[in-house]
Amino acid sequence: MRLPSGRISILFVALLAAMLFLFVSATTIQVVNTESYQKKAESKAISNNHIYAKRGKILDRNGQVLADIAPEKEGKWLYPRIYPQGKLASQILGKVGHDGRGIVGLENRFDKQLRGRIGLARITKDKNRKQIYGFDQVMYQALPGDNMVLTIDVSMQEIVEKALKDGVEEFKSLSASAVILDPYTGDVLAAATYPTFDPNDKKSSPTDCDIFGFAYEPGSTFKVVTAMAALQENLVDPKSVWHGEKGAWKPHPQITIREHDGKDLGDMDMSMALAKSSNVVFAKIADSIGEENFYKFVRNFGFGSKSTDEIQGEVGGSLKKPYEFDGRSLMTMGFGHAFMTTPIQVAMAFGAVANGGYLMKPRIIKEWQDSSGMVLEKNEPYKVRRMVSESVAAKLREMLRGVVSSGTALSVNSKILPGIEFSGKTGTAEKYSQEKRGYDRKKQVASFVGLAPAMNPRYVCMVLLDEPQTRTAGGVTAGPIFRRIMEGIYTHPALSPKVYRMQNLQKQVACNVDLLGKSLQEAEKLAENNACHLEISGEGEKVISVLKKTSDSLKIFLSEDRILSMPELKGLSLKDALGILGESNIPVEFVGKGRIVEQNPKANTKLERGQVCKLVLKEDV
């Protein structure tokens, strides 16, 4: 049967149209949308997974681990952060959040460098969405974060934090803070505020370290800066005697400057005024310096601006410009009022007194290492500028010794560290009350900044108490905490300077007698009563060190046996030389930088009381 030609034509066209549709569809799938359809197909079997990097460790200066990651567990997508030392240094370290990112402290400030780089892997799964092993493809590897090495010393940090806890409990203060600096490098060896927090506790709320974040009026500790400005600019003769005004000075009919509690301290020179902490005399000294000179000097010392970019939460304080001064601003600034600063800024100013006149930048990160411990970047000490000459710094060290020996800080003297002299300055500042629009005598900040030892300092240590209740003066609150911190350092087997030989200051079990701190007569009598033979070294009056020789004999060292003749110092750094001279209380003057090329007195020369050691330093020797 033949179909009409018209039907054949219609069928042919229909068939041709169908073939054309199939061809176009196939072309679209295979050519035009190949990538799209391929991805849709693969999405059913392949997924992208993050490979999380191991966060870098945080270590102390001696390699003690302060922050690490927990051991890897099966199925964990993120490595939990742990803090092996617990609360120790937590306000500096900060804390990591649930997402593995730092939220406060150094953990936050340097999160990117600590966190490393996340990797990516393609995972093949079966129809039941279970991983098919052997078909994984790593697109790019995770890179572990860098290790941060701090200048903090764990042992010192422990001593500081215990002393602060005890101090808050004893003096019933809101908080207590302290910092220990190496004045020659600017290294922060310890810094803390109590109360603190536990970064391992997910419910524990982070708290800041007040050494960097607490803005306050420094009070009488700032008199040291006023004295430096006056002496450096040769505007005041340190031997000049100032009239005490019977405790109240009226430079203008509407202005009265009073001593603390209105006491009449009498007439005095600068040294005595510092020892007695005279507001009147230091107001007069600031007035003699002048507004422009004083502002410039204080500003160059870093007051009114942040001291470092390493610490999250540091504040710069506030400092009036000369055109903002009223009739009493300059005079009250002279004894530490009418502006705001932070403890670290005050401590760095005292560091310049200790190191011979240089303002150093505080350093809390010593270096960065890769995950294998290789050093990537060293953070070198940085001298901001010379603020005063060595002679002015030496004069201030002498003045500060008087504060402790005969002034407002008598309680700082240690009875268990024979031969070690401290120096420093007390501070007691009333808080300004917005409600009262004046100073609140019931709310005070007590502080003490000390040098240890006094004349050739190894450490600068500042202690601050916020609103102590039982006693308020800095000399009887912050001062004793400073003393306890230093006693802890000098009696610690790993921290005590070698020249002091504190490892030998221990009870001698064999002879069953403790001679440390005893007079020579007492030591001889106790030894005789305990059948203990004594070998005596030195010509002093008190026992400063005891060395066990045999089971029934001891060698005792008397106070004048520290350094009887000048040691050889050529070729040493200034810091090492001062470490050797240590607690001998020999005043040191130096010029230049680098290593010692000349010394006077010469090596092995017998030292006389009051003799000054003069050193010449040069680089590349």
Report pLDDT digits (tens) over 144-177: 999 999 999 999 999 999 999 999 999 999 999 9
264 exposed, middle or buried (CB, 10 Å; 0-12, 13-18, 19+)?
exposed
Q: Rounded CA gap, 374 and 358, in Å?
A: 32
- One-letter amino acid of 334: G
The torsion of the CA quartet 327, 329, 333, 338, rounded to 10 degrees, works out to 150
**Angle, CA of 292, 308 and 188, to the nearest 5°:** 115
> What pLDDT, on the 0 to 100 scale, is given for residue 23?
63
284 exposed, middle or buried (CB, 10 Å; 0-12, 13-18, 19+)?
buried
CB atoms within 10 A of CB 600: 13
Helix (H) or strand (E) holding 16: helix 5-27
Per-residue model confidence as pLDDT tens digits over 398-423? 999 999 998 999 999 998 887 789 99
Q: Rounded CA gap, 380 and 389, in Å?
A: 23
> What pLDDT, on the 0 to 100 scale, is given for residue 611?
76
pLDDT at 214 over 60: yes
| Percent of the chain surpassing pLDDT 70 | 83
120 exposed, middle or buried (CB, 10 Å; 0-12, 13-18, 19+)?
middle
> What pLDDT, on the 0 to 100 scale, is given for residue 279?
96
CB 312 within 8 A of CB 94: yes
> What pLDDT, on the 0 to 100 scale, is given for residue 17?
67
> What pLDDT, on the 0 to 100 scale, is given for residue 609?
64
Helix (H) or strand (E) holding 430: strand 423-433
Q: Rounded CA gap, 81 and 104, in Å?
A: 14
Comparing 13-17, 95-99, 252-256, 319-323, the range with the smallest average pLDDT is: 13-17
What region does 457 belong to: left with phi over 0, alpha with psi -120 to 50, or beta? beta
> What pLDDT, on the 0 to 100 scale, is given for residue 494?
83
CB atoms within 10 A of CB 414: 17
Q: Rounded CA gap, 386 and 592, in Å?
A: 12
pTM: 0.75
> What pLDDT, on the 0 to 100 scale, is given for residue 621?
41
> What pLDDT, on the 0 to 100 scale, is given for residue 142?
83
- Better-scored residue on pLDDT, 38 or 164: 164
The residue length of the chain stands at: 621
As a whole number, mean pLDDT of residues 36-60 equals: 71
Q: Rounded CA gap, 122 and 341, in Å?
A: 55
> What pLDDT, on the 0 to 100 scale, is given for residue 506?
43
pLDDT category of residue 474 using cuts at 50, 70 and 90 = very high
Q: Where are the alpha helices (DSSP H) in 356-477?
A: 390-406
pLDDT at 350 over 90: yes
DSSP SS3 for 267: coil
CB atoms within 10 A of CB 135: 12
As a whole number, mean pLDDT of residues 292-312 equals: 92
The position carrying tokens 């169908």 is 18
How far does Cα 464 stand from its chain's mean position? Answer: 14
Pairing verdict, β 375-378 and 438-452? unpaired
pLDDT category of residue 261 using cuts at 50, 70 and 90 = confident
pLDDT at 363 over 80: yes
| Percent of the chain surpassing pLDDT 90 | 53
Q: Which residues pair with 452 in a beta bridge?
A: 459
CA-closest candidate to residue 226, choices 113, 336, 65, 311: 336
Q: Rounded CA gap, 123 and 43, in Å?
A: 11
- One-letter amino acid of 461: C
Tokens of 233: 């600019």
DSSP SS3 for 620: coil
Q: Rounded CA gap, 237 and 270, in Å?
A: 8
Tokens of 143: 């890179």
Q: What is the DSSP string of 587-608?
A: -EEEEESSEEEEEESPTTPBPP
**Angle, CA of 324, 326 and 331, to the nearest 5°:** 110
3-state secondary structure 164-211: HHHHHHHHCCCEEEEEEEECCCCEEEEEEEECCCCCCCCCCCCCCCHH
CA-closest candidate to residue 93, choices 70, 59, 127, 116: 59
Tokens of 582: 């240590």
Rounded alpha-carbon distances, angstroms, from residue 134 to 82, 122, 131, 166, 433: 33, 11, 9, 60, 70
Q: Rounded CA gap, 257 and 577, in Å?
A: 44
> What pLDDT, on the 0 to 100 scale, is given for residue 502?
43
As a whole number, mean pLDDT of residues 493-505 equals: 61
The counts of H helices and E strands in the chain are 17, 26
Q: What is the DSSP string of 330-379?
A: HHHHTTT-SSBB-HHHHHHHHHHHHHTSEEEPPB-EEEEE-TTS-EEEE-
Q: Rounded CA gap, 547 and 3, in Å?
A: 129
158 exposed, middle or buried (CB, 10 Å; 0-12, 13-18, 19+)?
middle
Q: Rounded CA gap, 137 and 125, in Å?
A: 12
